Structure 1
């Protein structure tokens, strides 16, 4: 390693954090624990959240206006964990101010919003990452490797399930103008991303969705958040994908989270354990036989943020591949909601 590389390896990123509710605070704490981050500025309107954040980052400057984060020339990057309606505009302003961005999902409520942010990342040549956290679990990494290594042959079908028996506890989730959608935008987006990523982001040629609110079927484009969704998709190479997700469904446990892939030579699955939102295992199937690939423990919360920190430290700028993945996933979500003709 050269002297310059050694100096870069020692450098800490000066970061601004916009939104430090429990998710934002968790991501901040994980980044701090990683040892290569200096939390310099925190933008948070609620004093209780700000006070909790200062316990982990006692030297940070608390501001109530996010504008103070964008205009701070000392900062290398910005971490965003605010309500969904704010994500695109805040990411856009941070990128235009020359900051790398790590944003909670969804990056935008629509594909158009996502495209605008991606364009800003390209224009500024700054690295943009979205907290698609399940990609970074050891269990799903094992599933991804099994598929991409060809161990189960050609994948011809996938079943995706995410039921949250509690549902969100913040009222803005239920306002479609602020959230962009209901359980599909909140939960389904994770599984759509995992599935398309594992399959190499093929073109999705057909999408049929049935969205419900309190048992009533919603019409395409209706301004109402769904609490139950069933979606059927087909890719350009005829892989059939089914998605089912919900809030407040009577699941008999806290959560059901699964992504099962069926191939010509076997199957593989990512599954939560005992209704947990945090513990997962990976299994590989051949006929009636099951091989367990990964089981807990796995401290995966915040791991996506650590990967972003490392890449920014190494000088990563605009990443066309991941940026296009964000757009492709957003386009599928738009079609699920009937926003694409």
Structure 2
């Protein structure tokens, strides 16, 4: 008799996949640990320009080889590679790995522009190799619940959503503030999660109109080379739903972070909100007029789930997935937010 295996048992029932890790700073090591702890994979090699970071990575994987860079990683006969390098390198590194026949899991953003993201997705399709992006908030227990409520029509027709990601800190690496390297400021860094959550929950309808306001130091951006630290945007979707997004770096928020995603339908609403300024702890509630029903409370160890999900699919033999076209839709929305800064909406 065939039996369904639990994820942990299934991981032990197959030979671990062989992975390389390119970029092992904090986020790269966190994703590395999550994947290795799952038992799905082993770390064959790691590469990072910082000797300190590679030493930290070897604590997690003492047998992993220290590689000089991407070329040496790709010489290791890998099944997949996890990329956590600065944004400017994501597209080119992902394409090189895919063209070498290696599956890719990349930090967001996958590219600085729609054209870069599309080139990576095209490479995944041409090579027939699995591509994943660390859009990690999809994998929180709370957003999974909201996604299911909307798919089950439990909120009725969803006609509006408000999503927020305010970070009281700015990034600590200089390249974030160089648009040629980062692709932009808080929109491409934080807003990418909000856009992905909104479109994912609503099954990726097309975006019919975009308006936006981008600021730096409280003032409207003087030119397109500046990097924004505050942004608000409105996206109108096919079918009429209106999505409002707000994100920032270094906002005087009175706490470390203010993160939320709220969806409003004709039969009710749903709210995903961080607790006490935390980047990690969230509550979810169903909303009914003036009352609410709490569905989810912390803790929820969600940070590495996107990476583990990708590794699990790779171990199961999955190759190109048409769902990665969603990454292009998110990139298109980001490009339109930048292009529409301060412009009046166009009439249909």
| Correspondence for 2:325 | 324
Separation of aligned partners in 2, 1:71 and 1:77? 12
Q: How does 1:264-303 map to 2 (within 5 A)?
A: 264-303=266-305
| Correspondence for 1:149 | 152
Asked if structure 1 preserves the Cα contact closer than 8 Å seen for 2:117 and 2:328, the reply is yes
Alignment gaps of 5+ in structure 1: none
Asked if structure 1 preserves the Cα contact closer than 8 Å seen for 2:283 and 2:296, the reply is yes
Post-superposition Cα deviations, 1:87-114, rounded to whole Å, max 9, x if no partner, equal 0001000000000100000000000001
Separation of aligned partners in 2, 1:208 and 1:7? 46
Alignment gaps of 5+ in structure 2: 4-9
Superposition deviation, residue 7 in structure 1: 10
| Correspondence for 1:76 | 79
Asked if structure 2 preserves the Cα contact closer than 8 Å seen for 1:279 and 1:298, the reply is yes
Post-superposition Cα deviations, 1:178-213, rounded to whole Å, max 9, x if no partner, equal 110100001000010000000010010000010001
SS in 2 for 1:29: helix
The correspondence for 1:136, drawn from 139, 145, 156, is: 139
Does residue 21 in structure 1 map to residue 25 in structure 2? yes
Post-superposition Cα deviations, 1:60-88, rounded to whole Å, max 9, x if no partner, equal 0112221111233x210000000000100
Give aligned pairs, total: 335
Asked if structure 1 preserves the Cα contact closer than 8 Å seen for 2:179 and 2:227, the reply is yes
Asked if structure 1 preserves the Cα contact closer than 8 Å seen for 2:11 and 2:38, the reply is no
CA RMSD of the aligned region, Å? 1.7
Separation of aligned partners in 2, 1:8 and 1:50? 27
Q: TM-score, normalised by structure 1?
A: 0.95
SS in 2 for 1:333: helix
| Correspondence for 1:259 | 261
| Correspondence for 1:89 | 92
Separation of aligned partners in 1, 2:284 and 2:224? 37
Q: How does 1:1-341 map to 2 (within 5 A)?
A: 9-72=13-76, 74-218=77-221, 222-320=224-322, 322-338=323-339
Post-superposition Cα deviations, 1:291-321, rounded to whole Å, max 9, x if no partner, equal 001111111111111101110011101001x
SS in 2 for 1:25: helix
Separation of aligned partners in 1, 2:302 and 2:242? 29
Which aligned runs of 4 or more in structure 1 are off by greater than 6 angstroms?
A: none
Q: TM-score, normalised by structure 2?
A: 0.94
Asked if structure 2 preserves the Cα contact closer than 8 Å seen for 1:44 and 1:50, the reply is yes
Asked if structure 2 preserves the Cα contact closer than 8 Å seen for 1:8 and 1:314, the reply is no
Separation of aligned partners in 2, 1:135 and 1:94? 25
| Correspondence for 2:6 | none
Separation of aligned partners in 2, 1:8 and 1:277? 32
SS in 2 for 1:129: strand
Counterparts in 2 of 1:295 and 1:33: CA distance versus 1, 3 Å: same
Asked if structure 1 preserves the Cα contact closer than 8 Å seen for 2:105 and 2:134, the reply is yes
